[in-house]
Structure 1
Amino acid sequence: MRLIKVLVPDGKLSTVLDVLDRENVDFVVTEGVSHDRDAPGDGDDSTTLVEFPLPTQAVGYVLGEIRDAGLDDSEYTVVTSVETAKTRHLQELENRFVAGVEEDDSVAQEEIRAKALGMHRGALTYYALTVFSAIVAAAGLLLDSPAVVVGAMVIAPQVGSALIASVGVALDDRRMVSLGVRDQLLGFAAAIVASLLFGLGLKSGFFIAPSLNVSAVGQINQRISPGLLSVSVAFCAGAAGAFGLATALPVSLVGVMIAAALIPAAAAVGIGIAWGLPGVAAGAFILLVVNAVAVNLAGFVVLWYLGYRPDDWGGDDLPTLLSSYRVSVTTVALLLVLFAGFGGLLVDQIAFDNEVNGAIDDVLEEERYAELELRGVDVELGLVSRFDQQPEVTVTVARPVDESFPALADRLDRAIDDRVEDDVLVSVEYRDRQRSEPTNGDGQNSIGGRAVTGPAYL
């Protein structure tokens, strides 16, 4: 429920009240109010304060009708939350906008701007939480602990800066765009530096062996080889954040998803630099940039779809669009250029992954490997070859106990090399598998009549 307070010039009062009467909105008026301290309340500039309660879903529509009637509500308009209200026609408005044919969860443009700016944090709070979350994320990555990484996402404050930027682009608000983009860029830099210093401290103090192959750690490996699934998370996180912001739904949980797409990747960049592995740092940085752009673009697209436009929006034709979005067109163009550039590397990686997976499937379908079960494939970023590193593919398979396949790694290596241009190093990890014999239902072996006891081990 919202309480709207609008200061209306006396010359527009009858028009505004006619709109409220037409929409069955109950109101009260306070006459003789002036927005100018030096102007007397009963002078030529006298105004009237009109107050009326509305369901949250009706605020945008009613304010839009008042603007269309000729009122410039930029002088004084206040939208506040109230617990409850009782008026003659309020039930009709709730039936109409909350559970009726005009049901709409979206909030008013003024409210979404205020909500987004309300998520902004002071510099000390924002950067302190960013550093803390980056260090926790780096620790979780090195520990290969998903729970610790999730903990880092909970305290990360990136949801506010991302949504401020998206709202700013949708409303063509230069201040919001600048604020959101600045906080994101400086926040990513702070996260990378914090995880870098943390990693160097761990190495120099021998808390973690400097010779550790960090690219083989599962949680890190997931962040250094960006793919379609990773980017899908970022798109959905940005879209969900915009929906939550624009429909009066809580965005706290969505903030965890946005942080999931950004903070671990930033921490992986710092770890890659600390361990002197440019391929790891490059892969994580590509994922960070692509995910950040995806979050912001998805947020803008959702807000645009929900009908949020600049104040001077006047139509759907391209010239009007370009003139109304003076700041946003430049911002969106820059985001698209970044996404196209880094997305091109992502497309190359996806193609590299597809070729590797296809080669592995072809080999394991051969009759001599019929007993093997594929359990996982980790593909290092193909970009590492540009840093004089050899891309590595780790294949995890389950095999029967006491059976060996000494030539499998070489066979996979040849098959993958035939498909990709780079010389790939293949590692095979085996997991022993043991199954019980099938029984006939009474505990007896269905073939030999002998009971088979003991669990099956995977």
Structure 2
Amino acid sequence: MRLVQVFVPKGDLELVLETADATGLDYAVSEETSRGEFEALVSIPVPPAAVEPLLAELRAAGFDEDSYTVVTAAETIVSSRTDQLIGQFSGTRISREELQTRAEDLAPAASTYFVLLVVSTVIATAGLLLDSAATIIGAMVVAPLMGPALAASVGVVVDDGELATRGVLFQVTGLLATVLTAALIGWLLRGTVLLPPGFDITTVPQIRERITPNFLALFLALGSGVAGVVSLVRNVGSVLVGVAIAVALVPPAATAGLGIAWGHSIVVVTAGTLVLVNMLSINLTALIVLWLSGYRPHRRASVEHVYGRVRSRIVVLVVAIVVLSMVLGGVTYGTYQTAAVEHDVGTELEAMSDDPVFGDLRFQEVAVEYELIDVYTGTEPAVTVLVERPPGEQEPAGFADTVRERLEDATGGDLTVTVELVDTRRSG
């Protein structure tokens, strides 16, 4: 429930009371005893779905918007009348005015926003370098990047140009600040005693997860965007924390910054694609869900203009997401190919160990060097095979070529194979 309190200027009391009567709402009038310009305070308890119609009726009746209309959330209302009110005004979304206020809170003062952003980036960068999932999750909770995306969409739908511009500006500058902060941290830490000698960021599991984004990441981003908007319009703020963790904007942006620090262009492209897909998907789903939820500018003359802006933005966002999804598709295909080669090699080596043709020889995969970029540059996979043999036993003639041919038949492509023979004696 909500409590709407209207500060009534002198001469407008009858107008406010007639509007409340016309909407079928109960009210209480308190006489204003101060020496100000108000003659009364009208308190109206309403369900959330009634706030927007009530304010629209007041506006249509000519109530002066220079006055004060305060909407507060009522923790508890003890009355048998509430069921009738709720039945009279069906709906679960908050009013346009409440939505606009909440959106403004999601794009806070610049100083607060960038302090939280830098802190979350430092935490995320440390978590990535330490391969600590818990630390990265902490950074996701602190990160304020999702708020401006929702705020920008709300600004467009309710025709608040300042809010929309602020949301877009915060998104762009926030992403740049995150990438540059992570790049600076990486540059400062690279080659220090805090990281092992020859440290390669692409070998860290938490980083590797964000430089090999699957095409399914697009569906995760779209679903998270819908959940975020629904939690906003239905006043379920706790859901936003889970959405922030699910869509994860800061960690891939920080990964792109580390890619700059280490000079890995592939890391920058793949991680950058992931964070852009996430961000654009939130903007897209927010626009669509807000419009379908019935939010419109309070000025009817602006509805057509806003509809055109929403439609054009949706087209631009869809085109951008489709282009970026091609990168995701390429990464997904390349990742599948590298995994398929490694799987086929491992399966064939197990089969060769059980093949009587090779006697007591045992085959183990030591390494398969086949990266995502190799799929598209045509570089052959390099496989190192460790072969255990009993002491004194000799391998067949042309043994290395036989191993290579078997592995090439299994993978369906050319391989560079290195065979390492080790005399092994097993106890028991």
TM bracket, shorter-chain basis: 0.7 to 0.9
Q: How big is each residue's C-alpha offset from its partner over 1:18-66, in whole Å with a ceiling of 9 and x where there is no partner?
A: 5533543102346899xxx8xx88xxxxx97643111223323443455
Query: Where in structure 2 are the equivalents of 1:75-86 lying within 5 Å?
Result: 75-76=66-67, 77-85=69-77
Q: Please say if residues 255 and 268 of structure 2, whose CA atoms lie closer than 8 Å, have aligned partners that are also in contact.
A: yes
**Structure-1 separation of matches of 2:380 and 2:9:** 71
Give 2:167's match in structure 1, choosing from 180, 189, 192.
Answer: 180
Identity %: 35
Give 1:118's match in structure 2, choosing from 105, 125, 146.
Answer: 105
TM-score with structure 2 setting the length: 0.74
AA aligned to 1:336 is: V
Question: SS in structure 2 opposite 1:222?
Answer: helix
- Larger helix proportion, structure 1 or 2? 2
1:160 aligned onto 2:147: yes
In structure 2, relative to structure 1, the CA distance for the partners of 1:280 and 1:88 (3 Å cut) is closer
Give 1:340's match in structure 2, choosing from 322, 341, 346.
Answer: 322
Q: Please say if residues 26 and 90 of structure 1, whose CA atoms lie closer than 8 Å, have aligned partners that are also in contact.
A: no
User: Which residue of structure 1 aligns with residue 27 of structure 2?
Assistant: 27
Q: Please say if residues 203 and 210 of structure 1, whose CA atoms lie closer than 8 Å, have aligned partners that are also in contact.
A: no
User: Which residue of structure 1 aligns with residue 44 of structure 2?
Assistant: 52
Q: Please say if residues 234 and 291 of structure 1, whose CA atoms lie closer than 8 Å, have aligned partners that are also in contact.
A: yes
In structure 2, relative to structure 1, the CA distance for the partners of 1:136 and 1:369 (3 Å cut) is farther
User: Which residue of structure 2 aligns with residue 447 of structure 1?
Assistant: none
Question: SS in structure 1 opposite 2:274?
Answer: helix
| Residue 170 of structure 1, CA deviation | 2.2
AA aligned to 1:79 is: V
**Structure-1 separation of matches of 2:328 and 2:125:** 23
Question: SS in structure 2 opposite 1:80?
Answer: strand
In structure 1, stretches of 5+ residues that fail to align are 42-46, 315-319, 395-401, 428-458
AA aligned to 2:48 is: T
| Residue 81 of structure 1, CA deviation | 2.7
Query: Where in structure 2 are the equivalents of 1:309-324 lying within 5 Å?
Result: 309-313=296-300, 323-324=305-306
In structure 2, stretches of 5+ residues that fail to align are 355-362, 384-389, 391-399, 419-428
**Structure-1 separation of matches of 2:281 and 2:94:** 24
**Structure-2 separation of matches of 1:74 and 1:94:** 27
| Residue 125 of structure 1, CA deviation | 2.1
User: Which residue of structure 2 aligns with residue 305 of structure 1?
Assistant: 292
Query: Where in structure 2 are the equivalents of 1:389-404 lying within 5 Å?
Result: none
Give 1:286's match in structure 2, choosing from 269, 273, 298.
Answer: 273
User: Which residue of structure 2 aligns with residue 198 of structure 1?
Assistant: 185
User: Which residue of structure 1 aligns with residue 130 of structure 2?
Assistant: 143
User: Which residue of structure 2 aligns with residue 229 of structure 1?
Assistant: 216
Q: Please say if residues 130 and 187 of structure 1, whose CA atoms lie closer than 8 Å, have aligned partners that are also in contact.
A: yes
Question: SS in structure 2 opposite 1:212?
Answer: coil
Q: How big is each residue's C-alpha offset from its partner over 1:137-167, in whole Å with a ceiling of 9 and x where there is no partner?
A: 1121122221111111121122321221121
Q: Please say if residues 338 and 375 of structure 2, whose CA atoms lie closer than 8 Å, have aligned partners that are also in contact.
A: no
Q: Please say if residues 16 and 63 of structure 2, whose CA atoms lie closer than 8 Å, have aligned partners that are also in contact.
A: no
AA aligned to 1:107 is: I
Q: Please say if residues 212 and 332 of structure 2, whose CA atoms lie closer than 8 Å, have aligned partners that are also in contact.
A: no
Comparing 342-351 with 13-22, which one deviates more in the overlay?
13-22
**Structure-2 separation of matches of 1:225 and 1:150:** 19
Q: How big is each residue's C-alpha offset from its partner over 1:231-279, in whole Å with a ceiling of 9 and x where there is no partner?
A: 2332222221211111111246436626742100011001111111111
Question: SS in structure 2 opposite 1:78?
Answer: strand
Q: How big is each residue's C-alpha offset from its partner over 1:308-360, in whole Å with a ceiling of 9 and x where there is no partner?
A: 1223357xxxxx86523465455444433422332232233334445566677
1:368 aligned onto 2:355: no
**Structure-2 separation of matches of 1:116 and 1:298:** 15
Question: SS in structure 2 opposite 1:3?
Answer: strand
